[in-house]
Structure 1
């Protein structure tokens, strides 16, 4: 049963809603514009000259949204821990909590092990497939061989965090994505992907350098249990049209790896 305080809060919210203009009276109302009520933290936003629409609620069903949680792992404050099995990324805070972000783990991301270090972060980066991507899946990556410029169309999304190992670029990335349905699952492409709203939030918290650790399946099961580990499904390879999905590709860029 709701407490008196929560009941008053609910009735107050109802009163405010009753006084609000109807969607048809307000052209800026998100329900009129997007067809749904945005989830807090995933509303429409403007960033770097680009407009990001809100994330539709069907992609944000629990636990597929950014949450502040108690952290039960072993990493230090300021570190990042990636759980590729439960499909979460943790940014650890000094008070024993962590921001937990849902992620998608691509085929490249599944190969990420041990510890790496974030030594670069970029806003709205461009992307070029690696030679290995072009060799192993030419039907998927061939249309993008000349690169995709930074922006809404880029597979790296709104931000990219660049992981180094031993002082050298590992070509692993933590980055945004427009493929909303991939979050919480494993995919055929990409490294560690977040909703664009989440990678913007994460990148603002991350300093250079930041240590990144990958959780083992054994630790994931120990900490989260079989109801969370493993989580998601493996998505089949997709052949995408650069014109309809990513936009124009005629501008070559210098940043390999995704």
Structure 2
């Protein structure tokens, strides 16, 4: 089994102590179509992958990525809840209901599952704290990025952010509910929308995230990533918008034990 191209390493100037990447749908894994191959998400109902396959994939992730501990998985609900983890995860630990997590403890692995929503990873420039957030349009509008930054002990001005693969602005069409959710808060958000047909727009989640981060104190030069579209890149990414019945990528971040912070 090859692990080539099993994940995409975050491209940002993070300190040596920070490890961060997003998994891809191929390169590892045992899931059968339409979840092939490296599905890491457990979904409820008839559309879910087999539990055995997901658990095997998670074991392969831990083995090949040499994770220092099992990841902390979340029960994501498109909200703004944030949890802090101070101890490593356990294989059968319950998943707290939240859409973001923070830690300042080395060896604690944070994880976010996505298949069009945006994973946003954070780290302190001094390498002493990391965080991860699940930011679809509801989470962005609801303030999940601001809530994550508020939960960090590091001031926002001393935080780096990386925007992982998400539904891209050339493919992600939305209706009035999404447009109104953002423009009613700030007319400036309208610049992230391009009209396509009556009452429909293409939306740039990356642009919206950058505006929200800037408003919370993370300067533009400290925000990295963006530009990868899960909908258009069938080879590398799962996409719920494109396929409906599909798997999930995981975005992980942790502080590597034994590495200097800076």
TM-score calculated relative to the size of structure 2: 0.25
Greater relative contact order, per chain length (Cα 8 Å cut-off, separation 6+)? 2
If you compute each CA radius of gyration, which structure gives the higher value, 1 or 2?
A: 1
TM-score calculated relative to the size of structure 1: 0.25
